[in-house]
Structure 1
Amino acid sequence: MAAAQHTVRIDGRSIRLSNLDKVLYPASGTTKGEVLGYVSAIAETMIPHCRDRAATRKRWPDGVGENGDAGSFFQKDIGEDAPSWVATGSIDHRDHRNAYPLVNDESTLVWLTQLAALEIHVPQWRFTSTSSSPRGKGPSTRSDPDRMVLDLDPGPGVDLRQCARVAVLARDILAGMGLDAVPVTSGSKGIHVYAPLDGTQTSEDVSAVARELARALEKDHPDEIISSMKRDLRRGKVFVDWSQNNANKTTIAPYSLRGRARPMVAAPRTWRELASPHLRHLDFREVLDRVERRGDPLADLTRSSSSVRTSERLELYRSKRDAKRTPEPVPEAVRRGERQERAARGDTGDDAGASVFVIQRHEARRLHFDFRLEHDGVLVSWALPKGVPTDPKQNHLAVPTEDHPMEYRHFEGTIPKGEYGAGTVRIWDSGTFVLEKWRDDEVIATLTGTAATGIGGTRTYVLFRTQLDPPQWMIHLKADTGSATPRPTRRRAPVSAPLPTAVHPMLATRSSAAELDRLDADDWSFEMKWDGMRAIVTIDGGDVTITSRSGRDVTESYPELLAVADTVGADSAVIDGEIVALGTSGAPSFSKLQERMGLTGAREIARARRSAPTRYLAFDVLAINGTNCRALPYEARRELLIDALGPEPDAAEDQADAVVVSVPPAFDGDAGAALRASEQFGLEGVIAKRRSSPYRTATRSQDWLKVPLFETAEVVVIGWRESEADPTGFASLLIAVPEAGGLQYAGRVASGFTAAERRRARRRLETSERRDPAIDVPGDARREAHWVAPESVGEVTYRERTPEGRLRHAVWRGWRHDRDASEFVADP
């Protein structure tokens, strides 16, 4: 029996977890579920020490045995089955290239742990340029190391306390070099000593310094310390391993689990702890408790290295500006040794306290606003051509620009003509913000600015990426954000409902013209009701999957619609829309679409394509580039959809089957005018959609209202009556409609068929013939009837429904091969 699986959603990504009850550490009985809980809880603390570093993993698929390493193996390359959202950095080796995963977010850490990668090993350097996909397309750029590490490995007969004494000796030498060291009990045998670097020395330089430091320690304490790589000389001594500063070497990442008998952790410690006579390695529960109570002793190390990255991040900003020509602040790149001097003076260039924002009004060639948020020592910036959104129903374009220095938050002035960004800059609003989320594709922040002007107090904004290359973003104002600033909360193992693999679309509730006429056009949008087949299109890179309303895969029946992958400006998307075939009048024709529905053979599809080409009318987007859009309001989703696909082309450009995928326009006017337009163009009716409504999958909602211009019903065929004129066809079909508790007999339908259609239907129905009707049928309807299993669904129009439930003047419209009778529900 297959192991139970659970899908969690982390960082907006769905991750499938399995075997949560499997014991990975037999000595302690620790399960995979407990391990996953640890990495999720520690992710926020651990990731800064792993970010942008090539991760080598040590995996135990069958759990840790008594021997520890038995059944384990190292893995460097990310592998072919990795999710596309895992960031990678590639390295050229002697005869091959490896793409390494980067543990830059909780979702990646959880995914690796799901694969039983208990240990994460990383180098002392970071990538400065990386890729997300395709894998390993070219080598990534590596920076110089931003930290030095000494691995204090106890030889035979040496305990952890003796390693601690050597760690203190190493600390004193490093302090004399101006480096503040932090110890880490490795969770295995010894102790690691980390020291921050300014990123101006190569790995070779750092390795040479570390080697000399180890030799100096050995020279001063020959009875306790050895720096030689020869194992047979280590008995009774601590080996100071300096080699892990080599660019090709890695060290167990701080806060990583270890593959020992029990779930021990590489735990950063304080020097006071190292002096304790009770010093020991810590397990994952103890580490979580310590971090919760005391924070991260290694945090200053990441802050020091972030100053290196800050200077690097401002290189593009500096390259565009000449400090002699512009009044803008243009900080110089920090030179060798300056960082330590600045840090010693407490001069970081930043204000202490809460994160800050500034919004500047920039009158350049075109007026726009610059939206800037403090992050990682710089102002991350977006240009807003249409200004800051003031209405939650209307998103605005946000164009990412280069990072700006923190000093820029105070800048006002005129940039001279001929210089980059020439024009006048004025501060429109500024203040502080509380960060809710910061991901590569989404930022959520609650800003507190000026109450009387600017953003008008406290507002929450969501910036989300809609396109990866070139990057394109939107900014959304959250509705009903009050004046109280929310407090950030510690997050442990979040789980939310993922987007289903087979998406069942949102459905509209039947309404009337009179009800629609009462709707406020400011709150509702009106779209035409298309006479076709509802379909969800899922795009994943170049792969396209088309599913019907019931979830049936119909991709092979509509090969021309595979062109949607080339049309959508996104790497991945889930889109809702309608497959239609145009009739002679130019309007969608359900009878024309009948020529295509249910076909699977390549030859018959090819023939039908010539006479009945189809197209896809997209009207909603559920996800784009991995971001779930369902919670966004209708108007925001529509703006994303138009941005990804482009609007419906002009009639002059719409040459029969030249346009395969498009976004039909919403009607510009009220409900009455929309209904009149639908009737004039020979369409099926009108759909009204509340502008503020989210997308609710598999739900019939009052936020969407439909008014058909004629009554239609989906029916289940339960039998037929023979024809005297054509013994190979039929005179009429006997039909049923769904009601509470099952199907109800709804009468007969005799018109709407061609002679050929009658014969084809007769042959198909005869294969499922049965002796008695599947439901209760009146006696007068039983005469001369042939009964069939209630498996086939069709659609009819009718004038009215009698008190007995019969459909009067029913006319056949066509078979609904996209509908499954077993899942048939009433359509109110």
Structure 2
Amino acid sequence: MATTDRGQITLDGTTVSVTNLGKIFYPESGTTKAEVIDYYTRIAAVMLPHVVGRPGTRKRWPNGVDGQSFFEKNLASSAPQWLTRASLQHSDRVVTYPIFDSVASLAWLGQQAALELHVPQWRFDGSERGPATRLVFDLDPGEGVGLAECAEVARSIRDLVATLGWTAYPVTSGSKGIHLYVPLDRALDGSGASTVAKQIATGLEKLHPDLVTATMARNVRAGKIFVDWSQNNAAKTTIAPYSMRGRDQPYVAAPRSWDELDDPKLRHLLFDEVLERVESDGDLLGDLDPPVSAAVADTLAHYRNKRSADRTPEPIPAAVANETAGNTFVIQEHHARRLHYDVRLERDGVLVSWAVPKGVPTSAGENRLAVHTEDHPLEYATFAGTIPKGEYGGGSMTIWDSGTYETEKWREDEVIVRLSGERVQGRFALIRTKGDQWLMHLMKDQNASFGTEFPKNLEPMLATAGTLEGLDPQEWAFEGKWDGIRVILEYRSGTMSLRSRAGNDKTRDYPALAGLAAVLDGHDVVLDGEVVAYNDAGVTDFGLLQRGGEPVFLAFDLLYLDGVSLLRKSYSDRRTVLNALAGKVGELEVPPQIEGTAENALEVSTDAGWEGIVAKRRASVYLPGRRGSSWIKVKNWRTQEVVIGGWRTGQGNRAQGIGALLMGIPGEDGLTYVGRVGTGFSDRDLESLLAVLEPLRQKESPFEEELPADDRKGAVWVRPELVGEARFMDWTATGRLRHPSWRGLREDKKPGDVTGRE
């Protein structure tokens, strides 16, 4: 971006005034205000999903991090009108918060010297406070401990919530500790979320009293990690993922991988490092938050802010309508201060609107000015009446035409549609020229089956983590979830490309797939699928793919074929055309759907050793780059029979007993170590296990190899005679069970009955 001291930047059609760009916010690094604004605009794509729909509390440093700072909740009257906002009733006043839902809003954040953005764990549901969508644990190190100990506690919480069927995502806070986020698969209000988080934190304190405290008092934190569960209270906030921090250096609340947390040199990351990571790895929190449409990003906030229900007959719904695949349009004749015609197209639960002063063009040689206005609710499509004088848009309004439309192109700066109404029929283009100024143009008509432009660089639609419970197989289709790399395949005029979810070109990474060009020759096509490698058991194996296993492309969706966009067609229709294409060209592998109920799909996928199941609503359209609630993914928990080779002594309440069992599978010269399991036990389970294992004590380890130092610390070895069963997510590359949880002894089995990977 420009580095002059002041000016304006236009982002997605919104103009933001910026000043004092040369001011240094971080003296130690020399980082300027311009660099802060640049960071927030470049990180927006991955940051927005985690803050949209949530009230934003800002922490501002007007004179840089060496100066005074203050928190700001209420939005000043001087704030730009284009900012989305929502109000909350506090104990003594009503506070209007900004909602950060656009690149421009984050640029404004930087312009305000608001280095930090804090948000709660809930989203607005219309104009009301909604349920929590996630839990957060703030791991705060006391004196004498640091990130390494925070990482140890984070792993314990991860394993603990895994027994509840939840996944945890770590974020180094950019300050001292680690934040651990857990997406919720059920609705919890603020008190419910706090209760669950407190139970987990206090339970962990009992398991590890020498390392963990869940007590607020600061005098007990020395040498321990304080697991702050209180930030799940609806009235509290946490630094947002990807937010910068007001520290000596420009650190960031940075999402991390679990492998990184195993690094003893783990440290906080600077803003430029985070940008580089996102460029290569995408959003490590991609599965954390539900899709914006499911949580209702309030795109009607501008509309509501301009109107009052007690002064206008216009519809003012409390929330955006549920997203549908609707394709209606309406043109309204509006006798306001000046006559104009409002053109409105249904999209994503609202009516996207333009004011066209001279009406829609009637010949191909005309260009008509069209001013992009605020989104309107779907209810407005049938509105006709008189808006009182003095109110926004005051004057009479009638419906001039209405009907349906087909989308040929929909981009931020260009929309091409075919309108089919009673008075208007034809192909129209709306082209942005500057800011909210557009031109509306009647295009020269083609034949009725007009083709659409080849869509380049489509982003894949993403599934939402959830459950298959209650899904009707008449409405939902079930597919396998594959352990590979998601790609979009484009083939046109003899050229094929593969692009990853992050938009990176993967074509050269898989030269063995070049033969697909010959298979698809004669067609222009865009496919959504996965590059996988099959192991000897015929199961997709990401590790094998990474190690150079033979790549195979699995095509599971068809987005474009020979001039026809299928994005707005139903999943069932897309799948039918995909199967027909595969049958015609041959050698295009399309994984089969699983017939029957959701329960049957889970059983089939578990028996086959698949990663999981993806359920897709048969009537759903394809939403590029968005996490749609019409696609639901479920990962399989797997089970493995194991032989107990010993235990590690516990800490705290477990100090005199079992802290974790050491598990193995019989090999040629003893047990092959597959890891330790420390969750899934009740106190009674631990007492019973200790009673049956004590008589089996022996001096020598029964394992073939020497165990890692951390695993054999405090180990008690036993004769390998008892068989049990553990539940786990999958196998690690080193042959360990990932996220294991104990299920119990298998008294019906002998060690000789236990086999390898099941």
Normalising by the smaller structure, the TM-score range is: 0.3 to 0.5
Larger C-alpha radius of gyration, 1 or 2?
A: 1
The structure carrying a bigger strand percent of its residues is 2
Q: Report the TM-score when normalising by structure 2.
A: 0.45
Q: Report the TM-score when normalising by structure 1.
A: 0.42
